[in-house]
Amino acid sequence: MIGRGRLCKTYYGLRLLHFVSSGSLVAWQAEVQVIPVLNMETINTHESTLQLVPSRRNLCHVLQKARERIFTWKVLKILVLGQMLSLFICGTAVTSQYLAEIYKVDTPMLQSFINYCLLFLVYTVWLAFRKGENGLLYIVRNKWWKYILLAIVDVEANYSIVKAYQFTSITSVQLLDCVGIPVLMALSWFILRSRYRLIHYLAVVVCLLGVGTMVGADVLAGREQGKASDMLIGDVLVILGAALYAVSNVCEEYVVKNLTREEFLGMLGLFGTFVSGIQLMIVEYNAIGNIQWDWKVGLLFAAFALCMFSLYSVMPVVIRISSATSVNLGILTADMYSLLFGLFLFGYSFSILYILAFVVIMVGFIMYCSTSTYSAETPAEQPDAHNADGPEKEDEAQEEPAHNLQYIPGEPSAVSAH
């Protein structure tokens, strides 16, 4: 190991003699020639080779650590499941748009009501067969008001986002929907006591840059022109929906990590069916009566319900192994998948910027997932300032002291053992 200083050219020869004294101290005698040396140089006799560029080793070490964090089964699983969620969202968007543009069916509340009914039939009934604290009766008796509030938040979040498309443009929805990410991180900070590292903030910025690239592609393609009569109402609905989604996702993360996934979905199915059913009769009673039912319309409703039910069923799994924030970053690619379907179904124009946006979002998503967040109750582990390789390496270093040969210009040769 070469210490600080500038080494122009080094020639060294060692003539080593040793003897064992009464104190078992090993003495080394060396002849060292250095031409020329501007400062003190240190050669570590434990090293088999002379390392002239230590920064290169540090860079390789950093790259190796990054590779070990990124190329893991956990990150791969989160990545795959996150894109599965994006495809489910894409399915709900495409079927809704097809119903609205081709068959003039605009009933977002009815579509949500069908999803909550499916959650009720599967997960609420599942809870009904359980006993004790995990059973339906116990949960309803002790937590009913909490889940009613959660159901209201979730129902209105879905309705606000879908309704916003009637007033504002796709571009505005894409941009303003990102408001939910910082809101979600803030809620996680205060409610879940999650703590983020610098790489998490950088990852969010990278993902938002990807969204900005996608919006730019929409502007160039002319998709930003909405048929809205009042853009302000639409923008407010998007912000409201994004904030409500953030609240719903934080509650979901708390329940699935501290209680059970079945409890969350079962209670959401029970009270979500009740809340959405009442709102359905108020806001879409006439629209439902005007639907011209045929097998194609029924198939589109079924496809929407299947995608939405799958989204609600899989999302708690992904949140449990990661976090609500990482899930929301991962599903930013849903617009990209919707575009691919739109090329064939709605005549969208393609731009290479969409591919760039997808890549940027995925890079940010992988960056976020590569490093885990930590809780305020358990402080993050800090590597030792003197030995970043951990206590085992430090113990080994203490057991085998390094014998260094130090040469100081203008002074006699000195031999020391540290």
Whether the predicted pLDDT of 20 surpasses 60 = no
| Angle at CA of residue 23, ends 19 and 29, nearest 5° | 35
Tell which residue, 57, 6, 72, 105, has the closest CA to residue 304. 105
Lowest mean pLDDT across 13-27, 92-106, 137-151, 303-317:
13-27
Between residues 348 and 107, which one has the greater pLDDT? 107
What is the average per-residue pLDDT within 284-312?
94
Predicted local confidence at residue 170, as pLDDT = 72
Tokens of 27: 């003495």
pLDDT at residue 141 is higher than 90: yes
With a cut of 90, say whether residue 249 has pLDDT above it: yes
Quote the percentage of the chain above a pLDDT of 70.
Answer: 71
Average of per-residue pLDDT across 156-184: 84
Q: Of 6-15, 40-49, 196-205, 352-361, which gets the smallest average pLDDT?
A: 6-15
Question: What pLDDT is stored for residue 216 in this prediction?
Answer: 85
Q: pLDDT tier at 148 (50, 70, 90 boundaries)?
A: very high
Please count the residues of the chain.
Answer: 418
pLDDT of residue 315: 96
C-alpha to C-alpha distance for 313 and 320, rounded to whole angstroms:
12
